[in-house]
Amino acid sequence: MGKSKKNPTTVLVCGASGGLGTVLARTLQDKGMTVRGTMRDPSKSTAPDIDMLAMDVLNEQSVIDCLAAAKEAMGSVDVVINCVNEMVLGSVEETSMEELGRVYDINVLGLASVARAAVPIMRAQGHGLIISMSSLGGLLAVPYLSAYTSSKFALEAFSEALYHEVKADNIDVAIMQPVAMYMDRADIGDHLKVAKSAPATSTTQAIVRMMAKDTRASKLTPEKVSLAIYDVIRAKNRKLRYPLDRARVLGKVKRIAPQSLISKMIDGLVRDAQKAS
């Protein structure tokens, strides 16, 4: 942003009831920022230290009302961070149209709804920053994650187009690209679902087990990602994309490696998952 930001910075964390969202909201509060979080039903919040506002990204009017409430509560909305996420694992055949549609409704249309509500507020106040949470899936299309990775590709394209549209209004857009984060939670749950038709002996289930193992071994934590986001918020000159951890290397490989090498790498990943199961 070209203009200096007032202090404290006001931040709306969309999806603050999840693993990353809760840690992020607390981290930014600890850094002196004024923060509001969102969740579908704030009465069910397990984080009493975070002021929650009601937002359902599947309901456009709910999103509009939430952004208006955030502005009224904080005086401005300097930063909006979208942590709302849906992840379904399954082959193209295993993943139903209903499951695919929900992933896109949340990861793509939900993001679009938040951006559409945030931009007019930010334009009126003369500044703003919208942070989109992508992932390694926004860099590399992975088999058995077609719904998720394609939604992240779409998220990145939407965010990049938005970046060009609003930069003249002193509104910035940044895309965070973390890899799997270590969190103390079940392998499968609200954060990760398996296509209902995927058999117990399928390659999809083997990929789930491999991902769970990689997640437990990950050195990237919500705290580290939150601090990286804090640095982006405070930066004077921002980049469009911020790959974290292994995404830095894989992003470079994707840009320069021939498709044959990428295919061998992906095939090896699938074989390793099948052998380990």
The verdict on residue 5 lying in a domain is: no
Q: What is the CATH number of the domain that holds 58?
A: 3.40.50.720
Residue (of 141, 159, 139) closest to 251 by Cα position: 139
Domain residues for 217? 10-276
Domain count, the chain: 1
101-147 pLDDT tens trace: 999 999 999 999 999 999 999 999 999 999 999 998 888 888 999 99
The verdict on residue 97 lying in a domain is: yes
Tell me how far apart the alpha carbons of residues 4 and 78 are, in angstroms, rounded to a whole number.
Answer: 11
User: Binning pLDDT at 50, 70 and 90, where does residue 266 land?
Assistant: confident
Can you say whether the dihedral through the CA atoms of 210, 275, 149, 230 is positive or negative?
positive
Looking at the chain, the whole-number percentage of residues with pLDDT higher than 90 is 69
172-200 pLDDT tens trace: 999 999 988 887 766 665 778 999 999 99
- Considering all CA atoms of the chain, what is the largest pairwise distance in Å, rounded to the nearest integer? 56
The verdict on residue 211 lying in a domain is: yes
Q: Which residue has the higher pLDDT, 9 or 6?
A: 9
User: Binning pLDDT at 50, 70 and 90, where does residue 163 land?
Assistant: very high
Structure tokens at 147: 């719904």
Can you say whether the dihedral through the CA atoms of 113, 118, 124, 127 is positive or negative?
negative
Least confident piece of the model among 10-14, 50-54, 214-218, 230-234: 214-218
With beta carbons less than 8 A apart as the criterion, state whether 114 and 80 touch. yes
pLDDT of residue 277: 65
